[in-house]
Structure 1
Amino acid sequence: MEFLLDTVNLEKISYYNEHLSLAGVTSNPSILKKDGIKGDLFEHFRKIRMILGSDRQLHVQVTGCSFDEMEADAKRIVTELGNDVYIKVPTNLAGLKTMKSLKKQGLRVTATAIYTEFQAYQALNVGADYLAPYYNRMLNQGIDAAQIIENVAKRIGKEGLESKILAASFHNVDQVNQAIRSGAQAVTVGLTVVEDAFEMPAISKAIADFKTDWEKLYSKDLANL
């Protein structure tokens, strides 16, 4: 299971890269706005790659709406960041046309803004490397996100496809777990959800209890016994 961070915060990326096994980082314009990124955008992305190393993924989204705009955005992204970057493209008609074109050029593609099973199948048909269903947003629309991920995962397995499901847009840890149980091969998770996962009071209490019980037995740390 691949675990990615949904952020462009350099300090947080560096921190979690030291503590977790990260597969990479995903981004989009909303994340850039949230993290207050200004100045040279591509230099910022290059700093992210320096933190992660060359063997980890970086997903960067196009901002255009038409095929020509998306194609131009993708060309700029590749020129600045290299052919191994994953170009995020929304899964509408213009986006699917763009995905087809990019795959013919040998580029890596992540199909985003997936809300429906039909969208996912079309992204599979054009050869997208990753499919990003928006889990919590799907639930807010009354869509059974877990079932759709399960159905798409079965299709990938049945046809022996190389595409992977990169579930995104989570509100809490349980949604992340549900997506993985349903068959998502990868998840990209925002900082708030990651922080909540490890700030559970029961975890802190268990660690504190271990420390207290140890100190009742010994006056020194284990390393100094």
Structure 2
Amino acid sequence: MQFFIDTANLAQIREAYEMGILDGVTTNPSLMAKEGIKGKDNIFAHYKAICDIVDDKVSAEVIATDFEGMVREGEELYEIDPKKIVIKIPMTRDGVKAIKYFSDRDMRTNCTLVFSAGQALLAAKAGATYVSPFIGRLDDVGTDGLNLIEQIVQIYDNYGYTTEVLAASVRHTMHLIKCAEIGADVVTCPLNVITSLLNHPLTDNGLATFLADHKKLNG
């Protein structure tokens, strides 16, 4: 399973990268705003800074909602770093058209705001590189987000689609572990969700015992 970090915070991205567990980064306008990044030039410079930290797979989201605007913005984002940028496109009618446009030109895409298996099927048929079901937001409205991941994985396996399932809106470690069990290709989440995997009381207790025994023997 690949781990993406869902943030625009450079310090957190660098920390995850230095841990050796980071495969990519996802961002969106809200995350950019959270870091106080405003204006096209500053946003593009920030994407470039992210690309300079990581090895690959930086999802950069278009703001336009019409086909022509998505294509124009997507091409501009792509030029920031053609080897690393993945163009993030919303699941809409024009979004599906834009995904097909970019797919035909071997430009990677991430279809975002997916909430149904039908939407995921359309994204795959259009050639999306990644499809991002938002499992946490589905849980918020009383729907089983993990069940959607399972549905999409099965559909893609049935027909041999190469689109990768990128579980988004992952809120906690059990979300992450369940996604791994189900067969999601990627999870994207805040850094604290990933680092929470480090924690277990028996590890802490065992280390404390080892250190105490070492101190007894070595003064």
Shared fold (TM-score greater than 0.5)?
A: yes
The residue number in structure 1 matching 2:66 is 66
Q: Confirm whether residue 217 of structure 1 aligns to residue 217 of structure 2.
A: yes
The residue number in structure 1 matching 2:148 is 148
Q: Confirm whether residue 113 of structure 1 aligns to residue 128 of structure 2.
A: no
Deviations 1:138-170 (CA, angstroms, capped at 9, x unpaired): 111222222221121122222222111010112
The residue number in structure 1 matching 2:91 is 91
The residue number in structure 1 matching 2:51 is 49
Question: Is the partner of 1:128 in helix, strand or coil?
Answer: coil
Aligned partners of 1:7 and 1:35 also within 8 Å? no
Moved more, 36-45 or 126-135: 36-45
Equivalent positions of 1:7-46 (< 5 A) are: 7-38=7-38, 40-46=42-48
Aligned partners of 2:47 and 2:80 also within 8 Å? no
Deviations 1:9-51 (CA, angstroms, capped at 9, x unpaired): 1111111211132111111111111222246222222222221
Question: Is the partner of 2:72 in helix, strand or coil?
Answer: helix
- Partners of 2:97 and 2:176 in 1: how far apart? 30
- The one-letter code sitting in structure 2 at the alignment partner of 1:61 is E
The residue number in structure 2 matching 1:137 is 137
Structure 1: runs of 5 or more not aligned = 220-225
- Partners of 1:109 and 1:10 in 2: how far apart? 22
- Partners of 1:202 and 1:76 in 2: how far apart? 50
- Partners of 2:209 and 2:17 in 1: how far apart? 28
Q: Confirm whether residue 177 of structure 1 aligns to residue 215 of structure 2.
A: no
- Partners of 1:62 and 1:199 in 2: how far apart? 37
Moved more, 7-16 or 195-204: 195-204
Question: Is the partner of 2:65 in helix, strand or coil?
Answer: coil
Q: Confirm whether residue 104 of structure 1 aligns to residue 112 of structure 2.
A: no
Moved more, 7-16 or 194-203: 194-203
- Partners of 2:210 and 2:46 in 1: how far apart? 42
Aligned partners of 2:16 and 2:191 also within 8 Å? no
Against the structure 1 CA distance between its residues 84 and 203, is the aligned structure 2 distance closer, same or farther, given a 3 Å change threshold?
same
Query: Identical aligned pairs, as a percentage?
Result: 29
Shift of 1:194: 2.9
Aligned partners of 1:110 and 1:130 also within 8 Å? yes
The residue number in structure 2 matching 1:164 is 164
- Partners of 1:23 and 1:141 in 2: how far apart? 30
Moved more, 192-201 or 170-179: 192-201
Question: Is the partner of 1:81 in helix, strand or coil?
Answer: coil
The TM-score, its normalising length taken from structure 2, stands at: 0.90
- Partners of 1:96 and 1:41 in 2: how far apart? 25
Aligned residues: 217
Deviations 1:116-136 (CA, angstroms, capped at 9, x unpaired): 111111111111111111110
- The one-letter code sitting in structure 2 at the alignment partner of 1:174 is M
The TM-score, its normalising length taken from structure 1, stands at: 0.88
- Partners of 2:101 and 2:137 in 1: how far apart? 28
